[in-house]
Chain A
Amino acid sequence: MKESVNKMTALMKYLPLLLLVVVSLFFGILYPRFFSIQNVLNLIRQMSFLMIVSMGMTFIILMGSIDASVGANATFCGVIGALLAPYLGGGAIIIGLLAGAGVGAVNGIIVTKVKVPSFLVTLALMGALDGAALLLMHSSPVNISNQTFLDFSNGSLLFSFPNVDLIPIVIIVICYYIITKTAFGRSLYAIGGNEQATFYSGIKVRHIQVIAFMISGVMSGLAGCLQASMFEAACPYMGNSFLMNSIAAVVIGGTQLSGGVGGPLRTVFGVVLIAIIGSGMNFMGLEPATRQIVTGAIMILAVSVNIDRSKMAYVK
């Protein structure tokens, strides 16, 4: 019995990687231009925002919670950054990140103090933030001309490597370190595994939950500001696609929605996979609407393979 279980877990562990190879080969053979330098660079660029948001989402899903406000939060923080850019320049980005952290803190505090399920709290915040962003930008894009703000994405701090590609890599390294090396990261797994037992072990569960939501908030804020800087404007609903795609990336990577199982590198695979599939569908000439349908289908497929059903009595 044990052996077959081990085989299953091994399969589950390497499935995202395997899928990645298969999908890449498929598109690579079908479209020779798929692996051209130009397209690979394009791919990396396309996934940078999603990578940042998904890293934040990983913290949340590991605890068995969910953050539905990521997309709206990104839009909201992007707008704040864009509005403050003329006055504060690069400092506007800091304010944008702080706003993201603030939203995360609100999420976390309502979840832990009022004990409303995270899905509900963050869903409500999502609506509120979308509305707030629209009010702030008077329902039309806010253009950015401040050079420091624009350099945030287009400039390069390291050699000639553009920041927009560098930042996600730095984020991956930081998140990997926090989740896998620190006591805080370990507590996320413990909370996802059994919140009560973790609490009884003397871990400050509520603090950790609030901090995790704040991290997720900062990541959304960062993605929003980076996106605004990249587009040279903050637009209504610009972060919308982050919600489904970041959850999809985390889950396709093999982190379980029920919490306690998974990790940051899996999310990296998940994001890369989504980006490759997205780009491949582009090559195939599918329109965005069709691509959304396919992403949805892949998400369900991934969960049905990954999820450990023995852990749940009923599916609700």
Chain B
Amino acid sequence: MRGEREILFKAEGITKQFSGVRALNDVSIEIYKNEILGLSGENGAGKSTLMKVIAGVYSKDSGRMFLKDREYNPANYREGTSQGISMVFQEQNLVPNLFGYENIFLSHEKFFLKKSGVLNTKAMIDKTRMYFEQFEIDADPAKRVSSYSFHQRQLVEIVRAFMISELYGITHPFILLDEPTAALAEKERELLFSKVTKYSENATFCLISHRLSEMMTYCNRIMVLRDGELVGEVDPKTSEEHDLHTMMVGREVSRDIYGTSKQEDGFRDEKAMEIKGLTQEGVYEDINIDLNKGMILGLGGLVGCGKRDLGKAIYGITEYQSGNILVNGNSVNKGQISLMVKKRVGYIPAERKGFGIIEYLPVSWNISLPSIFSLSNNVLMKVDRKKESSLIDKYIKRFRIKASPEDMCFSLSGGNQQKVVLAKWIAKNLDIIILDNPTRGVDVGAKEEIYSLLREIVKEGVSILMITDDLLELIGLSNQIVIMKEGRISEIRDAGKNSKPTEKELVQYMV
């Protein structure tokens, strides 16, 4: 069967270095017409780099590429698109303050020049509108892109690939999607993939996604990269996710990455935190949650159900209209972050770079930051450097952070950065930690480590309120699960080690 299929794109021996570091090493792939090819691998494995080389964003150091048997050697991204290869970037590539149609034809406006040298905007809008209708995108091309939803913008980028190809007389575009679903809600993800599958009748796709289940469902083949080399191919029909994990990490990954077998359900019947009737109209309403000492309470629900807003409100980042929060039995009047920290509550945000770490400070200072005032003696306010560095060393070791204390945080992998964020709170010796998507953008290997660290700290009596979009994480890790739907709690379910609910059982309370 495979032999008969037409090869659309071929790369041979692609190598790419970034100032001495080899990002891609002798990578050769063939991509068949009309397929959806998955590219998988841990962070830094070279997936995005490979895509960017194909798209012409980066130039390769050596190797050859062929598009429909003709040598393909784009000098830049624009040249790639004019030959029918487009990329939808992880960080979206639209200019928000330009109109929809302006974005679509950006840098290809020459096709719409009138004799007078003025752009024929009407033709541009009409053409865009026609395509939007054809591809079932419910957006106005004559509106600014900033008014589109995230999901719409993504589709606009995909459709743009088709439109630009057509301008250059190419009927079958090759579209590269780098993490298109990272920021999408469940429903939108499905919608996107149903469209991609449909569009693949007239196009070929290459996809990167951190959600392996998604790749297993929608891809025809999955290529696995590790440390810049192609290490194998997985056929989703005959393999399972675990095979993919193992290939990505390069060693056998435990089937029990959530450490469910180590879960202890005999947590103390003492309340660490009580949330009573917390309400912010239209966001979350009448929320009642009890968090016992030493338990992991999972808070799930669709993106936009209010669970993340609730987490922020509890930590005092945002305000709530009514309700009350008790920490260790004491009421907190209208939370304030510094007050919550004083009451030994910590918070790990989902946006690690924006709110979790300080990229341009060393790992050491990041870890000691929440404790810095308690590390200084009161008379001259001098930080006790000895105490500080022993604390830092202890947590770097305990959390197996692969970095030295002096390393700047930005140079660490996502997983290690997340461990730094976790370490800074555990080093402060807290009672309660609120986690917002603790493993977002973290590799499988590091995920496993983070889960086992969470199990460890819970054993020491810390209570965890974990907000997550990842259903498997929610089920695997939690002692108890709370599901929210449209701002209200729709289900509370015990999730003992031997009585875990299934995904299906929970999803019905979400939608």
| Chain A residues engaging chain B, CB cutoff 8 angstroms | 1, 4, 177, 181-184, 186-187, 189-190, 193-194, 196-204, 260-261, 308, 311
Contact = CB atoms under 8 A, between A and B. Distances in A.
A312 to B, nearest CB: 11
B266 interface: no
Contacts of B368: 186
Given A182-B382, A184-B381, A202 B361 contact: no
A186 B354 CA distance: 19
A197 B360 contact: no
Given A189-B365, A201-B424, A203-B338, A194 B358 contact: yes
Contacts of A4: 19
9 contacts: A4-B19, A177-B380, A190-B361, A196-B354, A197-B356, A200-B347, A201-B424, A202-B342, A203-B373
B405 interface: no
Give the interface centre of A196, A200, A308 by most chain B CB atoms within 10 Å: A200
B412 interface: no
Q: Give the interface residue-count category, chain B.
A: 20 to 34
Contacts of B142: none
Contact of B338 (A181, A189, A193, A202): A202
Contact of B382 (A1, A181, A200, A308): A181
Contacts of A202: 337-338, 340-342, 346, 370
Contacts of B18: 1
A194 B337 contact: no
A200 B358 contact: no
Nearest to B340: A202
Contacts of B382: 177, 181-182
B8 to A, nearest CB: 34
Given A4-B19, A183-B383, A193 B361 contact: yes
B275 interface: no
Contacts of B365: 186, 189-190
B381 A182 contact: yes
Nearest to B348: A200
B93 to A, nearest CB: 14
Contacts of A201: 341, 369-370, 424
B317 interface: yes
A25 B410 CA distance: 39
Given A186-B365, A200-B317, A201-B424, A1 B358 contact: no
Contacts of A184: 381
Given A187-B372, A197-B356, A182 B337 contact: no
Contacts of A196: 354-355
Contacts of B19: 1, 4
Nearest to B341: A202
B20 A1 contact: yes
A205 to B, nearest CB: 9
A260 B347 CA distance: 23
Contact of B337 (A1, A186, A199, A308): A199
A192 to B, nearest CB: 9
Nearest to B385: A181
Contacts of A183: 372-373, 375-376, 381, 383
Give the interface centre of A199, A201, A204 by most chain B CB atoms within 10 Å: A201
Interface in B1-50: 18-21
Nearest to A204: B338
A187 B347 CA distance: 18
B414 interface: no
A204 B342 CA distance: 11
A197 B341 CA distance: 14
B359 interface: yes
A3 B179 CA distance: 32
Contact of B372 (A1, A186, A308): A186
Contacts of A1: 18-21
Nearest to A194: B358
Interface in B365-396: 365, 368-370, 372-373, 375-376, 380-383
B357 interface: yes
B349 interface: yes
Nearest to B411: A2
Given A182-B381, A190-B369, A197-B358, 4 more contacts: A183-B372, A190-B361, A199-B337, A200-B355
